[in-house]
Structure 1
Amino acid sequence: MWVRFTADFAWRQPAFSIDYKAGGEHNVTRGCADEALTKGVAVRSPGKKRDEKREVRADGKGT
């Protein structure tokens, strides 16, 4: 499920944790999305289309 994070969010599981920064748009598992939506730190997003080109910043990282 695609979500856009409106605040920093750490999704913690017994074996790992993943930190998401505010403003990031990510395709996450339903468990992660449900927790973030419940806590009010994310909103549903339509996601990105496969044919949509990623922008590349000056530091070489995609957006």
Structure 2
Amino acid sequence: MRVRFTQDYDYKPVPQVTVAYLAGMVKTVKRDCGRRAIEAGKAVDITRQKDEHDGNEVSDRAGA
């Protein structure tokens, strides 16, 4: 999952580990981390959806 952190966020996958993310970072993170950060209001999901088009696709129809 790709997220942009809007505020500093500390992710604790286990009690002995803390991963610090700073506001403004754009990172690919584990889904659990991304979900928790979004629920805490400290990140937004910027994962590109598979059905989004960027306008660079070539049509498979002739003349289209």
Taking structure 1 as the reference length, the TM-score comes to 0.68
Q: Percent identity?
A: 36
Match of 2:43 in 1: 42
CA distance in 1, matches of 2:3, 2:47: 8
* Max Rg structure: 2
Q: Is residue 2:21 matched to residue 1:4?
A: no
Structure 2: which 5+ residue stretches go unaligned? 49-64
SS at match of 2:18: strand
Structure-to-structure mapping, 1:1-63, within 5 angstroms: 1-12=1-12, 13-46=14-47
Higher strand share: 1
Shift of 1:39: 0.4
After the TM superposition, list the runs of 4 or more consecutive aligned residues in structure 1 that deviate by more than 6 angstroms: none
CA distance in 2, matches of 1:25, 1:38: 17
Letter in 2 for 1:3: V
CA distance in 2, matches of 1:35, 1:45: 15
Taking structure 2 as the reference length, the TM-score comes to 0.67
What is the RMSD computed on CA atoms of the aligned residues? 1.3
